[in-house]
Structure 1
Amino acid sequence: MNYVEILMRTILAVGLLLLIPRILGKQTLSSMTSNDFVTSITLGSLAANLAFNISLKSSYLVLSLVVITAISFLLSFIALKSRSLRSWISGSPTVLIEDGKIMEANMRKIHYTLDSLDQALREKDIFNIEEVEYAVLEDNGQVSVLKKEAYQFVTKQDLGLQLQSQVFPVELIMDGVLVEDNLKRNGLTREWLENELRQKQKGKSLADVFYAVRGTRQQVVFDFYEDGIQQPLDQE
């Protein structure tokens, strides 16, 4: 009976962990603030006990999960409505580099080391700190960087080139299956897609296509099951 109970409790724990992020919102997954960090650790501990600790009643643990979720949701709501409380609940950004100068006092205050700063800059493809005008440690632990103007990339607008409008990519075939909803939503048809395929690759049919997408410039890109690569890399 213990095996059956553990199985049922584990399924319940996984189900609750899948449900809770939908209640708290996508921000919990995309950018974890201090509130989200504490909530995640607590929920993980409670879910683990719910799954395996049969000495504790499952109803108590489910109640704890519900309460923690409600508290986290309430704190997120308060942070959304009150700017003054937002920094206390979610934390606030910290300036690490200002006007090209390292803010040692700010770094000491948050226990942020030069090694961590160097690593964060390298992750932004910056190996020379002299390129940085501003660097800010965000609430989620990521570092945002503004380069000095001399080291910024040149854009088409800077060069005076003609700018073309772009659209959001539309996936037309996924895993060999035609995505009918995307076709209808964008006013496209199967016949149109087959015609595009004939223009791109003669002798191929939609059954040969593994993936197809209409790109940002409305160009259609196909990827086929048969790639024609005789010796693919990483095949072991």
Structure 2
Amino acid sequence: MPGWAEILIRSIVFLTILFLITKGLGKKQMSQLDTFQYITGIVIGGIVAIHVSDVTANVAYGILALAVWFFIPFAVEFMALKSKRFRNFVQGKGTVLIQNGKIMEDNMKKERFTTDELLEELRNNNVFKASDVEFAVLEPTGQVNVLPKKENQPITPKILGQKVSPEKEPQTVIMDGKALLEPLANASLNTNWLETELDKMNVSIENVFLGQVDSDGQLTVDLYDDQLTVPEPTEKPLLLATMKKCQADLELFALATESQESKQLYQQNSERMQQAIDKITPYLQ
């Protein structure tokens, strides 16, 4: 067999095996690597490179070596799940770099982490002053995670004491001009509803590059033609405006009538409507 043909076959064989090994080791292997995963990746890459490029190398030995380096990480991960002590030994532990707003110089020296590297990592976390940080830890993967001080954290509705509507993940119901039935079913919708919403926008499904439905059942679309614009959904603002108009009409009727009984009835319903508006406003804004 010609050398080029053998290298081609070896490449396909080892690529397939490497793909299966990566799938078998799981998604964690694809994320930032800890020490053992880093070593495993280097060794597996070296085995594949040698047995693909060297036609004198025995393919069976290469496959055997890959099998060994598949089962070793698999066994290590299994044991790490069972024992925290073993997990700390293999994967390592995080090292605190900043605690209570104070830089831990001894820990930085231990990890051979320079001040410039610390500042760089803080900037990667959108922090430009070390004094703004309450806590920072160097993870076993080499990533630095930062907790800003309370006064430097982003303002959230919880801090302001405001209620917000619960939100689920959006469902992609149109992709490349075609309706996706499973996401529609997940959102408790159907193709008839989708066609009705597209008709409201005066858009055909073939012209839609991407369409998504949020947790409130509102459809937003992106068209193939970037020159065309589609109006934003207006259902929630219209509902809120309608409720406010009803409340205002009730107050007007209460002022217009001369019957005390009717006036009291209008005022009571106006107050109830205002209470409903106050409760539902966070969900409609």
Relative to the length of structure 2, the TM-score reads: 0.76
What are the superposed Cα offsets for residues 161-186 of structure 1, whole Å, 9 maximum, x if unpaired?
12201111211122333222222344
* Residue 222 (1) aligns with residue 221 (2): yes
CA contact (8 A) 1:165 1:217 kept: no
AA aligned opposite 1:221: T
Greater shift in the superposed pair: 87-96 or 15-24: 15-24
Q: Distance in 2 between matches of 1:218 and 1:140?
A: 40
Residues 81, 187 of structure 1: alpha-carbon distance in 2 compared, 3 angstrom cutoff: same
Greater shift in the superposed pair: 69-78 or 161-170: 161-170
CA contact (8 A) 2:93 2:139 kept: yes
Using the aligned pairs only, state the percent identity: 36
Aligned-pair CA distance for 1:188: 2.3
Alignment of 1:128-207 (within 5 A): 128-199=129-200, 201-202=201-202, 204-207=203-206
Residues 16, 176 of structure 1: alpha-carbon distance in 2 compared, 3 angstrom cutoff: farther
Greater shift in the superposed pair: 148-157 or 172-181: 172-181
Q: Distance in 1 between matches of 2:54 and 2:213?
A: 50
Aligned equivalent of 1:211: 210
- Three-state SS of the structure 1 residue aligned to 2:134 is strand
* Residue 91 (1) aligns with residue 99 (2): no
Greater shift in the superposed pair: 49-58 or 213-222: 213-222
Alignment of 1:7-86 (within 5 A): 7-86=8-87
Aligned-pair CA distance for 1:97: 0.6
AA aligned opposite 1:88: F
What are the superposed Cα offsets for residues 75-115 of structure 1, whole Å, 9 maximum, x if unpaired?
11111110011111111100001111111111111111111
AA aligned opposite 2:220: V
Greater shift in the superposed pair: 15-24 or 92-101: 15-24
Aligned-pair CA distance for 1:217: 4.2
Q: Distance in 2 between matches of 1:31 and 1:11?
A: 27
What are the superposed Cα offsets for residues 126-150 of structure 1, whole Å, 9 maximum, x if unpaired?
0111100110011111111111111
User: Which structure 2 segments of 5+ residues have no match?
Assistant: 229-285
Q: Which structure has the bigger radius of gyration?
A: 2
Q: Distance in 1 between matches of 2:123 and 2:177?
A: 39
CA contact (8 A) 1:96 1:103 kept: yes
Q: CA RMSD in A?
A: 1.5
Aligned-pair CA distance for 1:42: 1.2
Q: Distance in 2 between matches of 1:86 and 1:14?
A: 30
Greater shift in the superposed pair: 152-161 or 47-56: 47-56
Q: Distance in 2 between matches of 1:186 and 1:54?
A: 55
Q: How many residues align?
A: 227
AA aligned opposite 2:24: I
Aligned-pair CA distance for 1:16: 1.8
AA aligned opposite 1:48: A
Aligned equivalent of 1:232: none
Q: Distance in 2 between matches of 1:141 and 1:219?
A: 41
CA contact (8 A) 1:79 1:86 kept: yes
Residues 130, 74 of structure 1: alpha-carbon distance in 2 compared, 3 angstrom cutoff: same
- Three-state SS of the structure 2 residue aligned to 1:16 is helix
CA contact (8 A) 2:178 2:205 kept: no
- Three-state SS of the structure 2 residue aligned to 1:161 is coil
Q: Distance in 2 between matches of 1:179 and 1:123?
A: 38
Aligned-pair CA distance for 1:190: 1.5
